[in-house]
Amino acid sequence: MYTLFFRLAFRRLDPERAHRAAFAWIRCAARVPGLRALIAAFLAPRRPELRVTAFGRRMHGPLGLAAGFDKNAVGIDGMAMLGFGHVEIGTVTGEPQPGNPRPRLFRLPADGALINRMGFNNEGSAAVAARLAARRAVFTTTVGVNIGKTKTVPEDEAERDYVTSTERLARHADYLVVNVSSPNTPGLRSLQATDRLRPLLGAVRAAADRSVPGRRVPLLVKIAPDLADADVDAVADLAVELGLDGIIATNTTIARDGLGLTADPSLAGQTGGLSGAPLKERSLEVLRRLHARVGERITLVAVGGVESAEDAWQRVLAGATLVQGYTALIYRGPFWARAVHRGLAARLAASPYATLADAVGDPGGHLSGPVRPTRGAS
The catalytic residue positions are 182
Q: Which helix (H) or strand (E) covers residue 341, if one does?
A: helix 336-349
Helices 158-169, 194-211: crossing angle, 10 deg rounding:
30
Q: 252 among the known binding-site residues? A: yes
Q: Which helix (H) or strand (E) covers residue 57, if one does?
A: strand 57-59
Q: 250 among the known binding-site residues? A: yes
Q: 326 among the known binding-site residues? A: yes
Paired with 126 in beta bridges are none
Q: 179 among the known binding-site residues? A: yes
Q: 184 among the known binding-site residues? A: yes
Q: 251 among the known binding-site residues? A: yes
Amino acid at 91: T
Q: 222 among the known binding-site residues? A: yes
Helices 309-317, 336-349: crossing angle, 10 deg rounding:
50
CB 60 within 8 Å of CB 357: no
Q: 67 among the known binding-site residues? A: yes
Supply the DSSP symbol for 66. P
Cα 371 from Cα 29, distance rounded (Å): 41
Q: 262 among the known binding-site residues? A: no
Cα 304 from Cα 312, distance rounded (Å): 10
Q: Which helix (H) or strand (E) covers residue 178, if one does?
A: strand 175-179
- 216: which residues sit within 8 A by CB, 6+ positions away? 208, 209
CB 46 within 8 Å of CB 85: no
Q: Can the peptide bond before residue 164 be classed as cis, meaning omega within 30 degrees of 0?
A: no
Q: 118 among the known binding-site residues? A: yes
> β-pairing, 57-59 with 52-54?
antiparallel
Q: 305 among the known binding-site residues? A: yes
Q: 56 among the known binding-site residues? A: no
Q: 327 among the known binding-site residues? A: yes
Q: 100 among the known binding-site residues? A: no
Known binding residues for substrate are 71, 116-120, 179, 184, 251-252
Known binding residues for FMN are 67-71, 91, 146, 179, 222, 250, 276, 305, 326-327
Known binding residues are 67-71, 91, 116-120, 146, 179, 184, 222, 250-252, 276, 305, 326-327
